Structure 1
Amino acid sequence: MQPRVAVVILNWNGKRFLEQFLPSIIQSTYKNLEIIVGDNASTDGSVEYVKTNFPQVTVLINDQNYGYAGGYNHILARVHADYFVLLNSDIEVTPNWIEPIIEQMESDELIAIAQPKLKDFNRKDYFEYAGAAGGYLDYLGYPFCRGRIFDSIEKDEGQYESSSEIFWASGAAMFIKKKYFDLVGGLDADLFAHMEEIDLCWRLKNQGFKVVYCPNSEVYHVGGGTLQAESPFKTYLNFRNNLAILCKNLPSGNVFGVLFIRFWLDLLAWFKFIAEGKLKHAISINKAHTHFLLDLKKWTRKRTKVQMPNTNGFWKSSIVWAYFAQKKKVFTDL
């Protein structure tokens, strides 16, 4: 019998995306499937729209907006399945997108998390920023992807057709075995949103589990559906959460040195925002550092117990140096 899969779309005022993309999800060919819209206290009529137009879809409602991490934790606590698929509302799927990933994950007990090939909905022959062909992390905590380094996004020309272990899977379309989600206590709600998927993958990898990329499954992501790239709040979350996940997951001997370097590199980013006239973003970096330091004891208490760490996808060099100094804009040049 096929494992039971629950595709769970966390929605917050995303009615326009549900109207556009929910029909493609309903056309998925996987048989043992439940489609769930978990609503984070929307005010745009999303819940009423889904209940009226898609009675085959289960609707679960949170009493307030708990963000991405807390929102999913509250919803998934009420879902019974072998696999969870955390899917953004702004994603178009292909009919057989589920089968290849479940088959791959079923083949290896150590595979905890997987992601499909993530491509740009607006430029369908290009990878998409949020996950491309699988996520990697450099030794200073900067995330990048096969197919996307910083803002350089590659065209999909078949260069990443091999399945491989990666370091992190995109939260835009993440498959995870329920038992492993439960094992590590789900997503860290204190992160609220952004980089919480990297933290989840890292915690599982610190226990020896695998995160993989499956090129035989393909989805198309609009991107920026909840927080636009130019949002100062997104800048705040990215800088604060990046420091937090380093504090939580790095080996004890590395934490202080890496955080020290990151503070100086973040200062360079602060000067860059000032030079570009983006004062609100510079202020966001100040807030991120202040709040990280004020909550340092909290992040330290959450440090992962490292058992048999799986470091596949962890890049021991600096992606900042490779990209900006050595001008390596493509993953295959690294």
Structure 2
Amino acid sequence: MKIAVVILNWNGVQLLEQFLPSVVQYSPEATIYIADNASTDDSISFVLANFPSVKNVKNDTNLGFAGGYNEALKHIDAEIYALVNSDIEVTKNWLQPILKTFENEAETAIIQPKILDFKRKEYFEYAGAAGGFIDEYGYPYCRGRIFDTLEKDNGQYNDNCEIFWASGACFFIRSSVYKELQGFDADFFAHQEEIDLCWRATNKGYKIKYNSESIVYHVGGATLQQGNPKKTYLNFRNSLLMLTKNLPKNKLYWILFCRMILDGIAGLQFLSKGKFNHFLAILKAHGSFYLLFLSNLKKREKFQSKKYYNTKSIVCSYYINNGKVFAK
């Protein structure tokens, strides 16, 4: 199958210097592209000078993760898109198990590899681990990572199974499905757009898979650190937008109401810890959500899958029932 590995870049020359060599070395089956989001550093000149086989697609402005990929992929011809963060180290034969699954399973539209922590390679990495799920209220978690608890990789997820969402850090999708779904939602800019896309794919009857035979290592937080208030803003706002678009009709307003309360509790926790900027980020997220509510309500599809969550409340499971790992 014709596959394109597409690395979104914004002022990431140092990351490209460190991680692009592994992608070039271990991806003989693919054409490799740098999708540049209007970088002002030496990213493009570095790639041109050192990796002449790598193709460049340059966006005129920084469109974020969602808009950046949407624009770049208009200019890339392939059956499979492999959307890879610039802080990902790939391993030998990482593409072959993914391509085999796509070839053998026509209903599988999206695949995620095993994502381990680049800094602690025996542990799963925060952004995806061994495949993602959400609870009834839309809170995401992974096999191998629930909130800030990361599991050690002891082979417990050495399987190929169906999941609810695949990590945007290393995200494989059939180009035909990407186009059918009109790509990521550019309103999101960054964060949780991959969960939204997977949810929309599920509503269309497609399957999302995890494949443990393909292994990559992710640094994480290289573009926007975990403690950045902008990250808090995007996560809270985008989660509400995603729920508005994808929840079953009979759950929509009740779940949104519950989330407003839970978000308020989270805001008060930030305030009690002296994190005033994060408290303000949640207020700003809610304000932005109200402004975007009606336009996102119009994006709802006719059919919404009623079975979208794997556990009722991951917050209760984690904090009350001691469900620190996925098996519990």
Judge same fold: TM > 0.5, yes or no.
yes
Q: Distance in 2 between matches of 1:223 and 1:304?
A: 32
Indicate the SS of the match to 1:86.
strand
Q: Distance in 2 between matches of 1:29 and 1:36?
A: 12
The structure 2 residue matched to 1:21, chosen from 1, 19, 22, is 19
Q: In the alignment, does 2:68 pair up with 1:71?
A: yes
Partner of 2:247: 250
Q: Give the direction of change, closer, same or farther, for the CA distance of 1:263–1:134 in structure 2 (3 Å limit).
A: same
Q: Distance in 2 between matches of 1:331 and 1:179?
A: 33
Partner of 1:324: 319
Q: Give the direction of change, closer, same or farther, for the CA distance of 1:330–1:51 in structure 2 (3 Å limit).
A: same
Indicate the SS of the match to 1:253.
coil
Partner of 1:315: 310
Partner of 1:206: 203
The structure 2 residue matched to 1:269, chosen from 263, 266, 269, is 266
Identity %: 52
Deviations 1:303-327 (A, max 9, x none): 12326x384x721410000001111
Letter in 2 for 1:140: Y
User: For the Cα contact (< 8 Å) 1:83–1:177, is it kept in 2?
Assistant: yes
Indicate the SS of the match to 1:295.
helix
- TM-score (structure 1 length as normaliser): 0.97
Q: CA deviation at 1:180?
A: 0.2
Q: How large is the Cα RMSD of the aligned pairs?
A: 1.0
Partner of 1:4: 2
Letter in 2 for 1:27: Q
Q: Distance in 2 between matches of 1:295 and 1:140?
A: 19
Q: Distance in 2 between matches of 1:119 and 1:222?
A: 9
Q: Distance in 1 between matches of 2:188 and 2:208?
A: 21
Letter in 2 for 1:18: L
The structure 1 residue matched to 2:159, chosen from 151, 162, 165, is 162
Letter in 2 for 1:257: W
The structure 2 residue matched to 1:289, chosen from 286, 303, 311, is 286
Partner of 2:85: 88
Specify every segment of 5 or more residues in structure 2 that has no aligned partner in the other structure, as ranges. Answer: none
Q: In the alignment, does 2:185 pair up with 1:188?
A: yes
Stretches of 4+ aligned residues off by more than 6 angstroms: none
User: For the Cα contact (< 8 Å) 2:114–2:215, is it kept in 1?
Assistant: yes
Partner of 2:110: 113
Letter in 1 for 2:309: F
Indicate the SS of the match to 1:97.
coil
Deviations 1:28-61 (A, max 9, x none): 2543x10000000011110111111110000110
Deviations 1:202-243 (A, max 9, x none): 000001100000000000000001100011000000000000
Q: Distance in 1 between matches of 2:59 and 2:27?
A: 29
The structure 2 residue matched to 1:301, chosen from 284, 288, 298, is 298
Q: Give the direction of change, closer, same or farther, for the CA distance of 1:310–1:294 in structure 2 (3 Å limit).
A: closer
Indicate the SS of the match to 1:119.
strand
Letter in 2 for 1:6: A
Letter in 1 for 2:9: N
Q: For 1:23-42, list aligned pairs within 5 A.
A: 23-31=21-29, 33-42=30-39
User: For the Cα contact (< 8 Å) 2:248–2:306, is it kept in 1?
Assistant: no
Indicate the SS of the match to 1:61.
strand
User: For the Cα contact (< 8 Å) 2:12–2:43, is it kept in 1?
Assistant: yes
Q: Give the direction of change, closer, same or farther, for the CA distance of 1:263–1:310 in structure 2 (3 Å limit).
A: closer
Specify every segment of 5 or more residues in structure 1 that has no aligned partner in the other structure, as ranges. Answer: none
Indicate the SS of the match to 1:317.
coil
